[in-house]
Amino acid sequence: MSREVLVVIHPRRSVVREIAQRVLDQFVAAGVAPRVLRDEAELLDLHCENVVPPDDAAALGVELVLVLGGDGSLLRGAELARSAEAPLLGVNLGHVGFLAEAEPDALESTVDHVVRKDYQVEERMTVDVTVRHRGELTYQGWALNEVSLEKVDRSRMLECIVEVDNRPLSRWGCDGMICSTPTGSTAYAFSAGGPVMWPGVEALLVAPISAHALFARPLVLAPTSSVAVEVLPSTPAVLSCDGRRSVDVVAFSRVEVTRGRRPVRLAVVHPRSFTDRLVAKFGLPVSGWRGRTRT
């Protein structure tokens, strides 16, 4: 049985075309069959024998999903990888690229690691979300980074009551609420003032967005906790999973978030500490550090 790797590509970056074709050719030369999404192949005029439609593109036996792009492309690849239970590996062609495993200068060696199956796999926690309106299920979804519930009308606040482990916590007038994983703590929740959580932490992060309240701090909960947000009749809201899958939420709806039943698996080919990743991605000043004194 031939080996197959799904290559997901950011289709609207002109620099990507040459890089993507080079990756495809490297896989073919190594005896690994690359698979490309049809819309991306057409937009970038890529030459690949195995062009597939987006639906279930990774479901038929791919051993890995390789993403060439930024965090947005990584989140799109995560949808495909999770459904196929295949590891996800990203090469950052975007800006920050927190989810990416490698930078462009390590592209060739990264592909070589995939060819040799020389990588480790770590699991990242996800969250599951359900929406019910007056008891009737209206939506089910999941997220790798975060679930956000935000107001639609900019001139009005979102009125909601937050519940933790089946007990009411507080009522907030705010722009929205975020429920994040540790992986998502460097994404939207970070912009809302939340803490950075190391990937090895298992926890849920809840962060109100611009709440008009004295008690409006981000909360770190146990991974076994459940979070619910009841939407009061003030203004329409929209629920978004990873900024990619959205649904309207009407008044008297109840949004429930728990730890995801299925994680996302990330391939690691260039192991380094999360501390080093933070320093590199945010350009943190570390000059003067001498480390532990040797005896």
Q: Between residues 294 and 91, which one has the greater pLDDT? A: 91
The backbone torsions φ and ψ at residue 161, rounded to the nearest 5 degrees and listed phi first, read: -115, 130
**197-241: per-residue pLDDT in tens?**
999 999 999 999 999 988 999 999 999 999 999 999 878 899 999
Q: What does the pLDDT read at residue 56?
A: 62
- In angstroms, the CA 39 to CA 44 distance is 9
How many of the other CB atoms lie within 10 Å of CB of 222?
Answer: 12
Q: Are 60 and 3 in contact (CB under 8 A)?
A: no
Q: How many residues appear in the chain?
A: 295
Which residues are known to be catalytic? 71
User: Would you say 21 and 107 are in contact if contact means Cβ atoms under 8 Å apart?
Assistant: no
Label residue 105 exposed, middle or buried (CB < 10 Å: 0-12, 13-18, 19+).
exposed
Give bridge partners of residue 131 from the DSSP assignment. 139, 255
What number is the average pLDDT over the span 78-87?
91
pTM to 2 decimals?
0.91
Does 1 have pLDDT greater than 60?
no
Residue pLDDT, tens place only, 154-172? 889 999 999 999 999 999 9
**What whole-number distance in Å separates Cα of residue 38 and Cα of residue 36?**
6
Instruction: Give the 3-state secondary structure of residue 106.
Output: helix
Q: What is the mean pLDDT of residues 24-33?
A: 94
E strand map for the chain = 4-9, 33-37, 50-52, 64-69, 88-92, 120-124, 127-133, 136-143, 146-151, 158-164, 167-174, 176-180, 204-209, 219-221, 227-231, 237-241, 245-249, 253-259, 264-268
Report d(CA 275, CA 7) in Å as an integer.
Answer: 29
Token pair of 154 as six digits: 């900019």
Query: Cβ(174)–Cβ(158) under 8 Å?
Result: yes
